[in-house]
Amino acid sequence: MEIRSRAPLRISFGGGGTDIEPYLSEKGGVVLSTTINRFSFGTLEPRSDQEIQIESLDVEMFSKFLASQKLVFDGKLDLVKAVLKKLKGWKQGFSLFLHSDAPPGSGLGSSSTMVVTLLGLFRQWLNLHWDNYDLANLAYEIERIDLGIRGGKQDQYAAVFGGFNFIEFYHDATIVNPLRIAPQILNELEYHLLLCYTGKTRLSGNIIASQVEGYLQKKESSLQALDELKAITIYMKNALLQGKLNLFGELLHEAWMNKKQLAGAITNEKIDTLYHLAKSKGALGGKILGAGGGGYLLLYCPYNRRHLILAELEKMGVQATPFSFDTQGLTTWRV
């Protein structure tokens, strides 16, 4: 028997940064996001002995150890080790094969999505009674608390629930609000969006640490930017539901201008050059996905300028990534 699991990567349109402590506990955060047809995958095959074998294509790593061994976080497949530690008292061996459609640090939430994929495998194998909120929160605890990886709370919930969501974050609750968007609006939005890989990934934890520091120090630019991001995200949600897509594109630009105020490393000379080039050729708005510093650039383009904008960006070494929206969220099955 084999068990397979996949969870979708996400595009965050607005609100990233307000889903990070302590802002979310003190003021409440909001994020508008969707999942896309790019995934993290996992296959688990139970063994009859106590040996655990793990192969990850993304980090080009293979490891094996006994289920009875004490697990140590040493930078080698720590996401898997943290999941096993959370399950406690593990005895049975298994083989695990992992891979993702995007590299770590690319801004699509790939690390969090992989934790969700892993938890999906074990929920299916062991018939664990976790609902989607339980699983998403467990994934958050594993990555942010157990492993101490700095970051927000949106990625885990996006990967589990899938689709277009307006997610609210509070000290004692997270609320996922699925958006009922007319199919023609989704088709039109997809037609206008351009997803480009800038060819550079980054350590998001360092950027987020700077962002949190600015908030803790009550830095005026950080406080104002986070409050503005929250307000803009609500406007973006309303524009999307009403089909006002050009306004949505313009709000993407406003959100990016505010996000850049949170930490210096969110942008750099290359990103600014690419973004200004896209704007000069007609893009209404856009942003670097995730914490910033590199990875994927998302742009909203007029339909008759999209190909021209892409042609200019490709001259700068940028690669377009075709995608479509995904609505399924975490999916597991037995083979």
What sign has the CA pseudo-torsion 191, 197, 203, 209? negative
Find out if CATH 3.30.300.30 is the number for domain 183-323.
Answer: no
C-alpha 201/C-alpha 208 separation (Å) is 15
Look at residue 263 and tell me whether its pLDDT is greater than 80.
Answer: no
Q: Give the rounded percent of residues in the chain with a pLDDT score beyond 90.
A: 70
pLDDT, tens only, 124-179: 999 999 999 999 999 999 999 999 988 899 999 999 999 999 999 999 999 999 99
Look at residue 200 and tell me whether its pLDDT is greater than 70.
Answer: no
Going by the DSSP 8-state scheme, the letter that residue 265 receives in this structure is G
Q: What is the pLDDT of residue 260?
A: 83
Going by the DSSP 8-state scheme, the letter that residue 11 receives in this structure is E
Q: What is the pLDDT of residue 292?
A: 60
Total Cβ atoms within 10 A of residue 185 = 17
Q: What is the pLDDT of residue 261?
A: 83
Total Cβ atoms within 10 A of residue 106 = 25
C-alpha 201/C-alpha 104 separation (Å) is 7
Fold of 3-180+326-334: Ribosomal Protein S5; domain 2 (3.30.230)
Going by the DSSP 8-state scheme, the letter that residue 144 receives in this structure is I
Q: What is the pLDDT of residue 225?
A: 87
The alpha carbon torsion through 96, 334, 119, 61 (nearest 10 deg) reads 20
Look at residue 192 and tell me whether its pLDDT is greater than 60.
Answer: yes
Q: Where are the domains of the chain?
A: 3-180+326-334, 183-323
pTM, two decimal places? 0.93
C-alpha 281/C-alpha 333 separation (Å) is 45
Residue recorded with tokens 């690390």? 111
Tally of helices (H runs) and strands (E runs) in the chain: 11, 13
Please work out, in degrees rounded to the nearest 5, the angle formed at the alpha carbon of residue 159 by the alpha carbons of 149 and 196: 85
Going by the DSSP 8-state scheme, the letter that residue 71 receives in this structure is P
Look at residue 34 and tell me whether its pLDDT is greater than 90.
Answer: yes
Q: What is the pLDDT of residue 151?
A: 85
The highest-confidence range among 58-67, 101-110, 188-197, by mean pLDDT, is: 188-197
pLDDT, tens only, 59-78: 888 999 888 888 889 888 99
Look at residue 10 and tell me whether its pLDDT is greater than 70.
Answer: yes
On average, the pLDDT of the chain sits at: 91
Going by the DSSP 8-state scheme, the letter that residue 235 receives in this structure is H
Look at residue 55 and tell me whether its pLDDT is greater than 90.
Answer: yes
C-alpha 246/C-alpha 262 separation (Å) is 26
Q: What is the pLDDT of residue 140?
A: 96
Look at residue 104 and tell me whether its pLDDT is greater than 80.
Answer: no
Q: What is the pLDDT of residue 198?
A: 86
Active site residues: 155
Instruction: Provide the pLDDT confidence category of residue 325 given band limits of 50, 70 and 90.
Output: very high
Look at residue 205 and tell me whether its pLDDT is greater than 80.
Answer: no
Look at residue 2 and tell me whether its pLDDT is greater than 90.
Answer: yes
C-alpha 33/C-alpha 161 separation (Å) is 11
